[in-house]
Structure 1
Amino acid sequence: MKHLASLLLFVVLAFSSRAQGVISFEKDTHDFGKVPEGTMATYEFRFKNTGNQPIIIANVQASCGCTTPDWTKTPVLPGKSGIIKAMYSSAGRPGVFNKTVTVTSNASTPSAVLTVKGDVVSKAEAKATLTPTQLGQSPRLVLDRTTHDFGKMEAGQQVTAKFTVKNTGKQPLELGMLTSGCNCIGYKSVPPTIQPGKSAVVEILYAQRQIGQMTDVATLSSNDLNGDVKLTLKANIVRDLNGSSILKESGAVVPFK
């Protein structure tokens, strides 16, 4: 009886040691090729759980801040698939890149390394090397307007403008960096990939501290090879929006009884 119990325990332990998720990637390296500067190069590494237990992705760590990862957050059951998304920001990074993303999970191989690489080129250079047919396949960014006037606002106040972005091109549109000379303009929210023929809303933050009638220009980059788009934000900046301060600024005398 004791021998039989020992044998059963051995079988259970042996089975348990084999009961584990197995993470199998379709590929572990992706070459973006030529990437127009200013775009967010994005690729989804797909994997399948070929084991017999659920796989949980604990963490995904990029080798640099220029690569932002995302991944399937829910347990991936045996026979099911998941993704690891790698996004490389090419703004201000011309030249060849080779970056890694390390995936940590409870799979039989607890650590896996994925690689993204490519060559960031200026839009002018990329445009010059493409045929008219290839250029015609580019995404195309069209805004509902290029100017927004906030009217009167307080110095340092943070306000938001919403612009509708439409992709009238043939390929998915990816928005890139938003830059300005005043460092007072930035994103509040950026839409995900915009498919051809679709529209999305991008929210732009504005916080100007200088007093007076201001006009600031920002450049919105994307993977549209036809060029970047300029946004103009206007506002009348005052020190304080409450009535007494406005009167004081105008030099008026406030009567008191």
Structure 2
Amino acid sequence: MAIKTALITGTSRPAGLGFAVARGLAAHGYHVILTARDQAAAEPLAARLRQDGHTATALRLDLSDRASMDEAAGYLAETFGHLDVLVNNASAMPDFQILDALDADMDAVRMAMEVSVIGPWALTQALLPLLKAAPAARIVNVSSLSAQQIATGLDLGAPLRSPAYSMAKYALNALTGVLARALSGTSILVNTVDPGNTATHPDRGDDAGDRAAADSARDIVQAATLGADGPTGQLFSNNRPAA
């Protein structure tokens, strides 16, 4: 029986959502590939999963560097020959203190777009042969409540908080639909999950009402393990299609 494999981007922090997703998929029997720009940051997390009896590998992956994506694809092709799950979790919020789109820093906008839109798009291209080689692959893009500021329509005159991050996540939601349509003739399902406010930054100060990372990760894991009759091109929030 072929090994089930899952690659998760942005798994460099023990308290992060990416690591919680990796742990959740590992518990479902997947060999998880934890990736980060600095492989040394992901190595201890992969080691923790192995100590808990799971199978896990750390891999360098820079979403601004297509060569590193191709190297990761080459490693996966040689080692496993397929990829069952891709979770585009890596994110950048370079402007969380900016409260208006007119105050946006264009360098921050470019960074957010690179990590949250261009990177996942390019990574999907790089890994597509491996995803198609799996019996029924799943792609899950991790979005944010911030995108809903745009999706639901801002009140006239209302500011756009974290404009670079919010616009990037809104564009990622749109990319999900584009990829789902492009892959409609395959067994690959592509969906987006909005995990809600999640306690992943104890160093920065999480809000009291934030969900635990393990709780948010469950929604992502469910989207990553949908059955053949599962939806595609959907945005999920609290484990339900978002309005």
Give the TM interval when normalised to the shorter protein: under 0.3
**Relative contact order, CA 8 A, sep 6+: which one is greater?**
2
Question: Quick check: which has more Rg, 1 or 2?
Answer: 1
Give TM-score, length-normalised by structure 2: 0.27
Name the one with the larger strand percent. Answer: 1
Name the one with the larger helix percent. Answer: 2
